Chains A and B, each alone.
Chain A
Amino acid sequence: MPVIPTLFTDWFQRRDWQIYPHQLQIISAWQAGQSVLLVAPTGAGKTLCGFLPSLIAFQQNPVDTVHTIYISPLKALAVDIARNLTDPVAEMGLDIRIETRTGDTPQSKRARQRHTPPQFLLTTPESLEIMLSWPEASHMFSSVKTIIIDEIHALAGTKRGDLLSLSLAALRALASQSQTIALSATLAAPENLLGWLGGAKEMRQLIRPPLEKQISLEIYLPQGDDVPWAGHNAFYALDVIYQHIKDNQTCLIFVNTRAQAEMLFQALWHINEENLKIGIHHGSLDVGQRRKIEAAMARGALDAIVATSSLDLGIDWADIDLVIQVGAPKGTSRLMQRIGRAGHRLGAQSRAVIIPANRFEIFEALAAKLNLDSAILDELELPPGGLDVLAQHIVGRAVAAPFDEDSLFTQIRTAVPYAGLTRETFDKVLNFVSTGGYALDHYQQFHKLVKGVDGLWRIASKRVATRWKMNIGTIVESAVMKVRLKGGPVLGEIEEYFVQNLSAGDSFIFAGRILEFSGIKANIVEARASTSAEPKVPAYAGGRLPLSPGLADTVRGLLRDSSITAYLPPSVRQWLAIQKQRSALPDADRLLVETFPRGAKQYLVCYSFAGRNAHQTLGMLLTRRMERLGFAPIGFVATDYAIAVWSLHPVTSPAELLSSYMLGDDLEEWMAETTMLKRSFRQVATIAGLIEKHLPGHEKTGRQMTINSDLVYDVLRQHQPDHLLLEATRHDAARGLTDIRRLSDLLTRFENRIDHHNLERISPLSIPLILEVGKENVSGSGVDEMLDELQQSLIDEAFN
């Protein structure tokens, strides 16, 4: 049994709290010197679990520098945990300095923290990386006993996770006595995350309490004929959502993107006759506004809050009694996490309802419920770490202190995502950060790092350090601009490309209001409250979630399952019936392909149910091949379920087009030419420090940002195709945007099993796809032909 001082047991008793077995297990493991990965659903007292062993140890052996570091993927979560920790600590009479340090921490507090660091430090991966570069770091972190990583499932496998793993490697080198406690939501194969605990294998323990929370999940199935074809807003069910808010104490309403949050919030207030208190929360809102909403929620002052994934993770709000998921959940684990926000206490029942926003989403919601019932969870993908992140980290190491390349290489290989890093690749990254890594370099004036006579690498100037701090992090959103109410406060940030399409007087939705665009002043978007009732749609790119692989397959099966379809709304049943009559329903063993003309375009639709990532790849491959065969493709759109390609000339034999040898074709070449690769390159180049995110003193907007990264990409590809950043870009494309293996399985599976339906007009099943936004353009002979045509028509016009 673990040693728990009476100070703690007394406090538990006073609070009438029962200590759970898994909490005891963790304290035992910690006291035996082990590191722990705890996998449990939300509401299992996970966060307290993480801190208990540390609080006990601190009470027994207090230190004056940092004792415990808590790392959370969300700033808001760190702030919230600090709040929830302060009370029990005060009640127990423990004297601990508990403080947060995030990107939002004021400058004065940051300065103070450098000479008087908190004993319990709550932070984010980016802030940790910065603190590790301080000269004080070695003193500050040498006595760290516990490293707590919260919500590790949300970090592992991402670039932020890569950065964190590198920070942890550096941190553990300073804090040689530390143990790690990692907390994860339930997911398949959690043992894959054990490496994140560091230390020796035998000192790692996986604790998985068999706590099954009661879940009551309902799917809203409209019985009228008003089920939308496409879109993700579910406005048809607005009354239903409003009724739920009325019937419950506090509702948490999840949507998948910021734009949806704004639109739904607006729509709810429009019908809010009873003046219910409804709030909004998403990542683009100003920090102050977000904090206000969080505090109001904590006080129980709100009836409902419309949120994006910014509230996915475990903020502890007592009394949410219903979670409403508007739109498809996109993944079983994510759905479970979100549902867990209701009845957020162990043993309490979680109530949730899914409101599908369109016809396909009904199937997706049903599939998610089926998977949830049979406990089929999503598995985390854990690809090797990004080289752009490594480049950023290496500069950070030099900012901290001069380093020896051999020992840094050894240290980096202890970070899980970089365990397989070769010395050759490491040298290439080091070469890139020091001089740019160009094979033929006629311009020698650039040096970020230099190697001294002592053999150690250091930064070439102080400016390198300043720039590195300004550009830290792995989240490269499209350029954003602040939005200010004329003569009033800053409301938040909006994507620049959206602003570019506004003219003075245009209205748009932001921060829960309808605003009218006045102009841009000193890089700030000025707006005033609008009287317009019909705003332009807000067009944020952020927050589109891809469907998890498992779910798409389940959806395909459901379309033909008569035991399911019998319960569907009449309009949906009719939709499927007409589809069956005019074309066919997708089959598990065959691939349904439709072709039809519409307007000036010839469409080809392929219902392959392979998820959006694989479909994006398929889109790139198909258009490239169609280009070669003279079909003059113009663009394509990929969803989780299907892909549509349009061209100027009709495809007559799709089977030929879709043969699996397509994958053998110059993969490299087609990848290089797509706009997606250019987007990837922009991200890689920013993270690796080729393109600056912020410049000291004056923040530039994306448009002014030095040189357009597309141009750099084109030139670099031509002159040095094996450059590190291009390598990292291809690596990223294979990791995020493309899914070659899934695609090759698909094409092989359906070789010679393609059902082609050549239709006279658009098919019912393809409507949602054609209405989808997020289309990709291809730049090939299709464009040339259209230019020719326009040129000819203008000539004809002029001469007739």
Chain B
Amino acid sequence: MSAHAIDGQFFDIACRFYADGSLYLPDNRTLILSDLHLGKGAAQRMTSPMPGYDTDDTLNRLEAAIMRTDPSQTILLGDSFHSPEQAEMLPAYHLDHIMQIARRTDLVWIEGNHDPSLPHRLPGQSCSYLTLGSLLLCHQPAYQAEQPERPVTGQIIGHYHPKARLQLKARNLSAKCFIHDHSLMILPAFGAFTGGLNILHDEIQTLLGRGQQSYVLHQQSIYHFPVSRRHFRQSV
């Protein structure tokens, strides 16, 4: 049966994958989300009358995810803002909303390539990476490059906006997804105006080894599939 959430394991840690693209670690009471891209609509507004409602939308869904799991801390895995300017120019109304959310949970803002510096007025703490037991949480797998061998820690990252293209019985379906192997997990983008990169793309595949698992989001439900060339399709 289709479900709103699926329980799974990653790096020997219990995980709950939600259909909205958030990840909950019950043992740590930690909620993790990535790539909110707040202000992405507004960023286009220097030249076109793009609506700013994407930010309302994303924040509403963030709040709902927090209400549902009641986490002690919520980690935003980078690219929370579409640009440093958008982070600085965030309207008071949205900042108020974030303040409200911060009353329910401790927010941790991890820096991403779109938001290398985060404004001081944000509630919670900000940092470039975070460790959680044996897990390393950061935006991109950048720390890997500085180490000669793959770290013994598990990593949870964002950045790539993974998307799967599935071959179903009577048609194809393209949808956001989680993907992980035994030690690296990539979260889907949570922002309302975010697109995606096919998980079979080289950029993602070079990061991952054998035994890849995916959790595919479709409307209100989430589905678990081992990644295989038989059911997954490449797209340009």
Contacts and interface: CB of A to CB of B under 8 A. Distances in A.
B225 A791 contact: yes
Contacts of A193: none
B9 to A, nearest CB: 15
B218 A711 contact: no
B205 interface: no
A31 interface: no
B90 to A, nearest CB: 9
B105 to A, nearest CB: 23
Given A708-B195, A783-B173, A445 B224 contact: no
A719 B193 CA distance: 14
B1 A634 contact: no
A789 interface: yes
Interface in B79-121: 89, 91-94
Given A707-B41, A715-B54, A787-B216, A442 B91 contact: yes
Contacts of B54: 711-712, 715
Nearest to B49: A436
A501 interface: yes
B48 A706 contact: yes
A707 B193 contact: yes
A437 B173 CA distance: 34
B150 interface: no
Contacts of B46: 445-446
Contacts of B51: 436, 438, 712, 715-716, 719-720, 723
Interface stretch (B20-28, B69-77, B136-144, B164-172): B164-172
B235 interface: yes
B29 interface: no
B151 interface: no
B2 interface: yes
B125 interface: no
Contact of B166 (A648, A706, A707, A790): A790
Contact of A442 (B94, B221, B231): B94
A759 B149 CA distance: 64
B52 interface: yes
Contacts of A432: 49
A704 to B, nearest CB: 10
A666 interface: no
A273 interface: no
Contacts of B55: 442
Interface stretch (A32-40, A397-405, A684-692, A766-774): A684-692
Contact of B48 (A437, A692, A789): A692
A789 B94 contact: no
A623 B49 CA distance: 34
A600 interface: yes
A716 B41 CA distance: 11
Interface in A769-793: 777, 779, 782-784, 786-791
B10 interface: no
A629 to B, nearest CB: 19
B129 interface: no
A501 B236 contact: yes
A463 interface: yes
Interface string B1-42: 110000000000000000000000000000000000001111
A415 to B, nearest CB: 24
B45 interface: yes
Given A777-B171, A788-B2, A689 B235 contact: no
B225 to A, nearest CB: 6
A725 B92 CA distance: 27
B129 to A, nearest CB: 29
B225 A790 contact: yes
Nearest to B224: A791
B193 A448 contact: no
A715 B53 contact: yes
A463 to B, nearest CB: 7
B2 A787 contact: yes
Interface in B183-203: 192-195
The bracket for how many chain B residues form the interface is: 35 or more
A794 B57 CA distance: 35
Given A711-B192, A790-B166, A446 B171 contact: no
Contacts of B225: 790-791, 794
Interface string A696-736: 00000000001110011011101110010000000000000
A446 B173 CA distance: 36
A707 B194 CA distance: 8
B20 to A, nearest CB: 14
A715 B45 contact: no
Interface string A418-445: 0000000000000011011110111101
Contacts of B40: 707
A798 interface: yes
B226 A798 contact: yes
B128 interface: no
B85 to A, nearest CB: 10
A513 interface: no
Contacts of A463: 47
A502 B234 CA distance: 11
A711 B48 CA distance: 16
Contact of B193 (A500, A690, A712, A784): A712
B91 to A, nearest CB: 4
Nearest to A446: B45
B223 A788 contact: yes
B48 A783 contact: no
Nearest to B91: A442
A777 B175 CA distance: 15
Contacts of B63: none
A706 B44 CA distance: 8
B170 A690 contact: no
B99 to A, nearest CB: 15
A799 to B, nearest CB: 12
A716 B52 CA distance: 9
B91 A790 contact: no
Nearest to B47: A467
A646 to B, nearest CB: 7
Nearest to B92: A442
A442 B49 CA distance: 13
A346 to B, nearest CB: 51
B1 to A, nearest CB: 6
B219 interface: yes
Given A446-B46, A715-B193, A719-B57, 19 more contacts: A436-B45, A441-B52, A445-B42, A446-B45, A500-B236, A502-B236, A690-B50, A706-B50, A708-B195, A711-B195, A715-B192, A718-B53, A719-B53, A783-B171, A783-B173, A784-B2, A787-B221, A789-B169, A794-B226
> Which 7 pairs across A and B sit closest by C-beta, in order of nearness?
A436-B49, A442-B91, A719-B53, A446-B45, A500-B236, A443-B52, A443-B42
Interface of A: 432-433, 435-438, 440-443, 445-446, 448, 463, 467, 499-502, 600-601, 634-635, 646, 648, 689-692, 706-708, 711-712, 714-716, 718-720, 723, 777, 779, 782-784, 786-791, 794, 798
20 contacts: A435-B49, A436-B49, A437-B49, A438-B51, A438-B53, A443-B39, A445-B89, A446-B49, A706-B50, A707-B41, A712-B41, A712-B193, A715-B53, A719-B56, A720-B53, A723-B51, A784-B218, A787-B173, A788-B223, A791-B225
